[in-house]
Amino acid sequence: MSLGIGMLERYVLKRTLASLGAAFAVLGSMVMLIAFVDIARTVGTRADVGFGELLYLTLLQSPATILLLTPFIFLFGTLGAYVGLNRRSELIAMRAAGVSAWRFIFPAAFAAFAMGVVTIALLNPMSTALTGQYEVTRDRMMENYLKAAPKGTWLRQGDDRNQIVIHARARDQVDGSVRLRGVSLFIYTLNSKGVMDFSRRIEASEARLEPGFWRLIDVREATPGSGAIRSESQSIPSNLDDRTASESFTSPEAVALWRLPDTIRRTEAAGFSATPFRLRFHQILATPLLFAAMSVLAAAFSLRLMRLGGLAALAGSGVALGFGFFFFNALCSALAKADVLSPAFAAWTPPLVALLAGFTLLCYTEDG
More confident residue, 279 or 179: 279
What is the SS3 string spanning the chain? CHHHHHHHHHHHHHHHHHHHHHHHHHHHHHHHHHHHHHHHHHHHCCCCCCHHHHHHHHHHHHHHHHHHCHHHHHHHHHHHHHHHHHHCCHHHHHHHCCCCHHHHHHHHHHHHHHHHHHHHHHHHHHHHHHHHHHHHHHHHHCHHHHHHCCCCEEEEEECCCEEEEEEEEEEEEECCEEEEEEEEEEEEEECCCCCEEEEEEEEEEEEEEECCEEEEEEEEEECCCCCCEEEEEEEEECCCCHHHHHHHHCCHHHCCHHHHHHHHHHHHHCCCCCHHHHHHHHHHHCHHHHHHHHHHHHHHCCCCCHHHCCHHHHHHHHHHHHHHHHHHHHHHHHHHHCCCCCHHHHHHHHHHHHHHHHHHHHHHHHHC
Best mean pLDDT range from 56-60, 307-311, 356-360 = 56-60
Q: How confident is the model at residue 4 (pLDDT cuts 50, 70, 90)?
A: very low
64-93 mean pLDDT: 84
Question: 105, 299 in Cβ contact below 8 A?
Answer: yes
pLDDT at residue number 272: 65
pLDDT at residue number 332: 92
Instruction: Classify residue 285 by burial, with Cβ atoms within 10 Å: 0-12, 13-18, 19+.
Output: middle
121-142 mean pLDDT: 82
pLDDT at residue number 41: 85
pLDDT at residue number 306: 46
Residue 81: phi, psi to the nearest 5?
-65, -45
Class of domain 160-238: mainly beta
DSSP 8-state secondary structure symbol assigned to residue 302: T
Extents of the domains making up the chain? 2-142+278-367, 160-238
What is the percent of the chain with per-residue pLDDT over 90, rounded to a whole number?
14
pLDDT at residue number 287: 92
At 142-172, the pLDDT tens digits run: 766 555 444 567 777 776 677 888 888 777 7
With 90 as the cut, is the pLDDT of residue 285 above it? yes
Please state, in angstroms and rounded to a whole number, the distance separating the CA atoms of residues 156 and 164. 6
At 239-270, the pLDDT tens digits run: 776 566 655 555 677 677 888 888 888 777 65
Q: How confident is the model at residue 104 (pLDDT cuts 50, 70, 90)?
A: confident
Please state, in angstroms and rounded to a whole number, the distance separating the CA atoms of residues 19 and 79. 9
With 90 as the cut, is the pLDDT of residue 181 above it? no
Quickly list DSSP for 73-118: HHHHHHHHHHHHHHHTTHHHHHHHTT--HHHHHHHHHHHHHHHHHH
Please state, in angstroms and rounded to a whole number, the distance separating the CA atoms of residues 41 and 44. 6
With 60 as the cut, is the pLDDT of residue 1 above it? no
Cβ contacts of 299 within 8 Å, gap of 6 or more: 78, 79, 82, 101, 105, 108, 109, 358, 362
Q: How confident is the model at residue 365 (pLDDT cuts 50, 70, 90)?
A: low
With 50 as the cut, is the pLDDT of residue 2 above it? no
Instruction: Classify residue 296 by burial, with Cβ atoms within 10 Å: 0-12, 13-18, 19+.
Output: buried
CB atoms under 10 Å from CB of 68, counted, come to: 14
At 203-247, the pLDDT tens digits run: 988 888 888 888 899 888 888 777 778 888 888 888 776 566 655
